[in-house]
Chains A and B, each alone.
Chain A
Amino acid sequence: MAETSEVDEDSSLNSKVLCRQQQIKTLLSLFGQRQAMTTGSLFIYGHTGTGKSLVLQSVLNHNKLPYIFLNSIECSSPRFLFEHILNNLPVQGSYQISQDLNNLLNIENGDDDDDYIQCDNLTDFIRLLVSFISESPLKNQTLYLVLDKAERLRESSASLLPVLLRLQELSGLNVCTIFVSEIVWEKFRSGTGFYEPYCLHFPDYSRQELMEIMCLDAPASCEKDLYSLYINIVLSVFHMVCRDLRELRHIARLNYQYFIEPIEKNEVKPSDTKKLWRNIEPHLKKALTSVYLREVSSRQWELLQQAELADPDSDFSKAIVPSRSYVELPYYSKFLLIAAYIASYNPMKYDRRFFAKFSAKVSKRAKHVKKSERTSNHLLGPKVFPIDRMMAIFYSIVEGKVVPSAYINVQISSLVSLHLLHQIGGEDKIAAPKYKCLVTLDFIRSVARTVHFDVMRYLYDFL
C-alpha cells in the first residue's frame, strides 16, 4: 500500500518540480519511511538557481515531514542557531495543542518571553533538544534540520560543524541534518575528524530544461507555442552569458512586452517567426549589457518600455540611466585627486620629467625603446605612494599659490572617507601615511575636464 501511494506522490511532485526526477528519487529513497533512521547528515551542493532549496522544501512539504529550515547567514553566532531550532520545533498532536494554548494565553497577557527558550552552548542545545523531542510525538519520526548557505557555518565556532554533522549520534534521536551550499564539501574540511556526510550534487539545467521550466511562466493571454518561441529567442541571446534560471526569468518577463507588442497591434502574424525575431533582437541585445546589473529597476524599465513603445524616436534611456561617474567636489579636492591619480599610475622616476621646470630632454631613441618594453600601469592597478609625493605633484599642477593649511589636510581625509583614496598605515602621527587612488580613468578625466586640466598629458602610459 505504501509503495503505490509513494509512486503517486512522486508523479505529482514531479509535475510541480521539473527536471529534478533523479534528485527527488534519491532524496525520497534516503528519507524512507517516517520511522526509519536516515543518514545522519546530508550535504547538497550545486550552483545558484539549480533548485536545491526548492526540491528539498517541496519534498519535505509534500510528504508533510517535520522539518526546520534555517538560513545560516542569519546565525551570526551559534546561539541564534540553537535558539531558532529549539523554538521552532514542529511539534504535532496533543503537545501542540497545549503549546498553542500556552501561546494564546501568553499573547493575551502581552508577553511571550517566558516561552522563549534560551540556550548558548552546544551541550545545553543537545540536552534541551533531547528533552523536548523525547516527550513530544516527534520522537517516532525523523526530524530534518535544513541549514541553507551552510558555508557560513565554517566561520563560527570550530566545534559547531562537527557537532551538527553527528547530531544523530550525539543526541541519540532520529535527526537528519541537511546542509545546502554552493561550494563543494572539500572546502568545509578543517581541523581533525569530521563525520563525512552523504553528498548529493544538483547539476546545472541544460538548455532544454531551462526552456521547459521557463515556459511555465507563459501569461494566460499567450499561446504555449508562441511563448516557447519567445523563450527560444531569449535563450539564444542570453544563454551564452547567463545560465541562472532566476535572472533569465527576470529578463524574459521584462522584455516580453516588446515581443508581444507587434502581434497585439496586428502588424505581424504570430506565425511569422522571422519578423518577430528581427523585431525583438535589438531590444534583447540592449538588455544583454545590463544582465545582473539592476542599473534600471524593473519599474523604471517598464516605464521606459511604455514610453519607447509610444514614441520610438525619443531618447528616454539616457534620461533615466543615472550617471554614476559624476561627483561634485571642491576645487582643491579635484586637484588633490588628480595629483593622487598621477602619483598612483606614474613611475616615480618620471616625476622629474613631467613636473620639474627644467627637465632634461629625453632622446627620441631612448623614448622609443622604453615605450615598447614597458607594461601599462593601468593594467597592473594603482601603486602606493607617500603623501609627500602627492603634495609635490599637487603644488606643481595647481594654479596660483596655495597655502599649505589644515584645510588641505582635511580635504585629503575627506577624500579617504569618500573612498576615492585609500589610506595605508599612518595611524600613528609620526609615520607619514601612504595612499592609493581608487578612481577610474574615466572619472579622473571628467574631473580634470571641469578644472580645464589635461590629465592625459601627464600620464606616462599615454605618452
Chain B
Amino acid sequence: MPKRAVNRERPTLPSRSGPKPTPKNDLEEARARLHVSAVPNCLPCREKEFSDIFGFVESKILDGTGGCMYISGVPGTGKTATVKEVLKILEAERDDGNLQDFKFVEVNGMKLTEPRQAYVEILKALTGKEATADHAANILNKMFTVPAPRSSPVVLLVDELDLLWTRKQDVMYNIFDWPTKEMARLIVLAVANTMDLPERMMIKRVASRLGLTRMTFQPYTFRQLEEIVASRLKGLQVFDSDAVQLAARKVAAVSGDARRALDICRRSTEIAESRTEDAGGEAVVSMSDINAAVEEMFCSPKILAIRNLAVQEQLFLKAVVAEFQRSGIEEADFCKLYDQHQTLCRFEGIHVPTMTELSAICYRLGSMRLLLTEPGSRDLSMRIRLNVSQDDIMYALRADIPS
C-alpha cells in the first residue's frame, strides 16, 4: 500500500495580495488588450455619436425636462459602449459638482424574464424597494406623474428594447409616456438593433411618444475597424500592419462587427504563438495567421462534413440531387429516393441497402441537418428536402478533389 507523504504541501488558493500577474510577452499582452470585455477608455470612431448623445442628455438635465432618444444599429457597432461612456463622463462631472445631481437606471430586455418585470427593476434601482410588477407600475406612475419637489432627474437606459414588446405594448407605452409628463424629468435612451422598429412593431401612439430624436450607428468601415484594433495595440509591435488591414477588410465586408474583428485578431495571435513556439524567437502575427483565423471563423463546415460521410450516405445525397434534377422540384418522397438510390448502387456496383438501412442513413443525415426530414412515422411518404445547395454537394463529392 503506498504510504502517504506526511509533510506534502497542501494546495491552497493563490494569494491575491500581490499585483495581478503581468503578461509574459507582447503576444499575451496583446491578447489581453484585444479581449472584447476590455473596453478602452476612449472609443475611437464614435466621436460624433458620443457628442450627440452627450449633448442630448446634458441639455435635458440642465433644462430640467424629460425626453426620449432611440438609438439603433446592427450588433457590434458600439451602441451600448458609447451610451455607457456618455453616462460615465456625466457622472464624473456630477461628482465634480459641475452638473446637477441625477440618477442613472439601466434595464436590459434580455435579462428580464418577462416584459413587465421592467417595472420591478426600475423601481428597485430608484428606491431599493421590491414589489410585484403591477404594484411597481403603480408606484412608478405616481412617482412620475404626481408633482413632487423631487431633486434629481433620472436617466433610464433601456437596452434590447424589442424584447419589451407585449401584445398591448403597455410597458413600452409607459416608458415613453413618463418623459412627456411635466414633472417627470425622465430621460429615456432606448437601444435596439433595427432602425425601423418604431414603425414596424409599435402602435402609433407609442411610436409618436418615442419621438423623432433618433440616432443610427452605421457599421464600421474597414478603416474604422483598423483604427479600433490599432488603438488597442498602441505601443505593441506584434501585428503586421497589412495583417490588421486584412482582418478589418474581411470583417467590414461581412458585417462591420467590431467584436468579430477583435475575435479574429485574438485567434490569430494564438495561431502565431503556436506557429513560433518551436522556432523560438519573436512572434509577429502575419497575413497567413489572419487568413487561417478568418478561414476558421467564416468557412462553413458543410462541405467538410459531406466529404467525410460514409459511402452510402454520400450516395444517398447524390440520389437526392438526382431526384431533384429529374423532377425539377426541391422536395421528394422517401420512396422515390429509394428507387434512385437503388439505381445508383447498381450503377456503382455496390451493395443495395434495405429500406431499414436507408431510413437509418436518411435519419442520420437529417440529424446532421444536411437534410430536412419529417418524423419517421410517415415512413415511405416522408418528404425530404436539402439543407445545402445542390452545387455544394456536387462540389464536395467531385472525384478529383482529394478528401
CA distance A185 to B354 in the complex (A): 14
Task: Give per-residue flags for A178-192: 1 if the beta carbon is below 8 A from chain B beta carbons, else 0.
Answer: 000000111111111
CA distance A154 to B378 in the complex (A): 13
Known: A184-B356, A186-B356, A186-B359. A154 touches B377 (CB 8 A): yes
CA distance A189 to B379 in the complex (A): 10
* In the assembled complex, B75 has its CB within 8 A of some CB on chain A: no
Establish whether residues B379 and A187, one from each chain, have CB atoms under 8 Å apart when the complex forms: yes
Establish whether residues A192 and B367, one from each chain, have CB atoms under 8 Å apart when the complex forms: yes
* In the assembled complex, A93 has its CB within 8 A of some CB on chain B: no
* In the assembled complex, B97 has its CB within 8 A of some CB on chain A: no
CA distance A184 to B354 in the complex (A): 14
Establish whether residues B376 and A187, one from each chain, have CB atoms under 8 Å apart when the complex forms: yes
Establish whether residues A190 and B356, one from each chain, have CB atoms under 8 Å apart when the complex forms: no
Nearest-CB distance from A296 to chain B (Å)? 37
* In the assembled complex, A172 has its CB within 8 A of some CB on chain B: no
* In the assembled complex, A193 has its CB within 8 A of some CB on chain B: yes
Nearest-CB distance from B341 to chain A (Å)? 15
List A contacts of B367 (CB < 8 A): 191-194
Nearest-CB distance from B85 to chain A (Å)? 42
Between B375, B376, B379, the greatest number of chain A beta carbons within 10 A of the residue's beta carbon is seen for B376
Q: Which of A186-232 contact B (CB under 8 A)?
A: 186-194, 196
* In the assembled complex, B369 has its CB within 8 A of some CB on chain A: yes
List B contacts of A188 (CB < 8 A): 376-377
CA distance A184 to B376 in the complex (A): 10
Establish whether residues B375 and A189, one from each chain, have CB atoms under 8 Å apart when the complex forms: yes
CA distance A196 to B375 in the complex (A): 16
Q: Which of A155-190 contact B (CB under 8 A)?
A: 184-190
Nearest-CB distance from B376 to chain A (Å)? 4
User: Size class of A's contact patch?
Assistant: 10 to 19
CA distance A184 to B356 in the complex (A): 9
Q: Which of B366-380 contact A (CB under 8 A)?
A: 366-367, 369, 375-377, 379
CA distance A150 to B366 in the complex (A): 23
* In the assembled complex, B363 has its CB within 8 A of some CB on chain A: yes
CA distance A189 to B367 in the complex (A): 10
Can you name the residue of chain A whose Cβ is closest to the Cβ of B377? Answer: A187
Nearest-CB distance from A191 to chain B (Å)? 8
Establish whether residues A189 and B376, one from each chain, have CB atoms under 8 Å apart when the complex forms: yes
Q: Which of B336-377 contact A (CB under 8 A)?
A: 355-356, 359-360, 363, 366-367, 369, 375-377
Can you name the residue of chain B whose Cβ is closest to the Cβ of A199? Answer: B356
Known: A186-B379, A187-B376. A192 touches B356 (CB 8 A): no
List B contacts of A191 (CB < 8 A): 367, 375
List B contacts of A193 (CB < 8 A): 367
List A contacts of B359 (CB < 8 A): 186, 189
List A contacts of B355 (CB < 8 A): 186
List B contacts of A184 (CB < 8 A): 356
CA distance A189 to B356 in the complex (A): 12
Nearest-CB distance from B213 to chain A (Å)? 46
Contact of B369 among A187, A189, A192 (CB under 8 A): A192
CA distance A192 to B379 in the complex (A): 16
CA distance A192 to B372 in the complex (A): 10
Can you name the residue of chain B whose Cβ is closest to the Cβ of A188? Answer: B376
Establish whether residues B369 and A190, one from each chain, have CB atoms under 8 Å apart when the complex forms: no
Nearest-CB distance from B169 to chain A (Å)? 30
List B contacts of A186 (CB < 8 A): 355-356, 359-360, 363, 376, 379
CA distance A196 to B361 in the complex (A): 12
List B contacts of A196 (CB < 8 A): 360
Establish whether residues B376 and A192, one from each chain, have CB atoms under 8 Å apart when the complex forms: no
Nearest-CB distance from A150 to chain B (Å)? 13
Establish whether residues A190 and B379, one from each chain, have CB atoms under 8 Å apart when the complex forms: no
Can you name the residue of chain B whose Cβ is closest to the Cβ of A186? Answer: B359
CA distance A189 to B375 in the complex (A): 6
Question: What would 10 more interface pairs be, CB under 8 Å, given A187-B379, A196-B360?
Answer: A186-B376, A187-B377, A189-B359, A189-B375, A189-B376, A190-B375, A190-B377, A191-B375, A192-B369, A193-B367
Seen from chain A, the residues whose Cβ lies within 8 Å of a Cβ on chain B are 154, 184-194, 196
Q: Across the A-B interface, give the 9 residue pairs with the lowest CB-CB distance, nearest first.
A: A189-B376, A190-B375, A192-B367, A186-B359, A187-B377, A189-B363, A193-B367, A186-B376, A187-B376
